[in-house]
Amino acid sequence: MYAQMVKSTGQAVRTRDDMTVEERAFQDRIDRGEKIEPKDWMPEGYRKNLIRQIGQHAHSEIVGQLPEGNWITRAPTLERKANLLAKVQDEAGHGLYLYCAAETLGVSRDELFDMLHTGKMKYSSIFNYPTLTWADMGAVGWLVDGAAIMNQVPLQRTSYGPYARAMVRICKEESFHQRQGFQVMLTMARGTKDQKRMAQDALNRFWYPALMMFGPSDKESVHSAQSMAWKIKMNTNDELRQKFVDETVPQAEFLGLSVPDEKLTWNEETEHYDYSEPDWSEFFDVISGNGPCNAERLKTRKKAWDDGAWVREAMLAHARKSRARREAAE
Residues that bind ligand BYC (CB under 6 A): 6, 8, 52-53, 56-57, 60-61, 64, 91, 122, 124-125, 144-145, 148, 151, 212-216, 221-224, 227, 233, 237, 287
**Which residues are bridge partners to 267 per DSSP?**
272
Alpha-carbon distance 125 to 49, whole Å? 19
- Least distance CB 68 / ligand BYC (angstroms): 7
Q: Are 292 and 129 in contact (CB under 8 A)?
A: yes
- Beta carbon of residue 314, minimum distance to ligand BYC (angstroms, whole number): 28
How many Cα neighbours within 13 Å face the side chain of 91?
Answer: 25
- Euclidean distance between CA atoms 159 and 173, whole angstroms: 22
Task: Give the shortest CB-102-to-ligand BYC separation in angstroms.
Answer: 12
Identity of the residue, 48 or 196, whose beta carbon is nearer to ligand BYC in the bound complex: 48
Distance of closest approach, residue 213 Cβ to ligand BYC, in angstroms: 5
Q: How far is the CB of 223 from ligand BYC (least distance, A)?
A: 3
User: Closest residue (Cβ) to ligand BYC?
Assistant: 64
Beta carbon of residue 250, minimum distance to ligand BYC (angstroms, whole number): 21
Minimum CB separation from ligand BYC for residue 209, in Å? 9
Rounded Cα–Cα distance for residues 247 and 66 (Å): 27
Burial 113-136 (b: 16+ CB within 10 A, else e): bebbbebebbbbbbbbbebebbbb
Task: State the nearest-atom distance from the C-beta of 221 to ligand BYC, in Å.
Answer: 3
Is residue 262 classed exposed, middle or buried when 0-12, 13-18 and 19+ CB atoms within 10 A define those classes? exposed
C-beta closer to ligand BYC: residue 237 or 242: 237
User: What is the Cα 221 distance to its own chain's centre?
Assistant: 17
Cβ contact 5:218 at 8 Å? no
303-324 in b/e burial notation, b at 16+ Cβ within 10 A? Answer: eeeeeeeeeeeeeeeeeeeeee
CA 216/CA 233 separation, integer angstroms: 14
Strand partners, 265: 274
CA dihedral 215, 220, 222, 223 (to 10 degrees): 40
- Choose between 258 and 285: whose C-beta lies nearer to ligand BYC: 285
In the bound state with ligand BYC, the residue whose beta carbon lies nearer, of 91 and 136, is 91
For ligand BYC, the closer of residues 26 and 241 by Cβ is 241
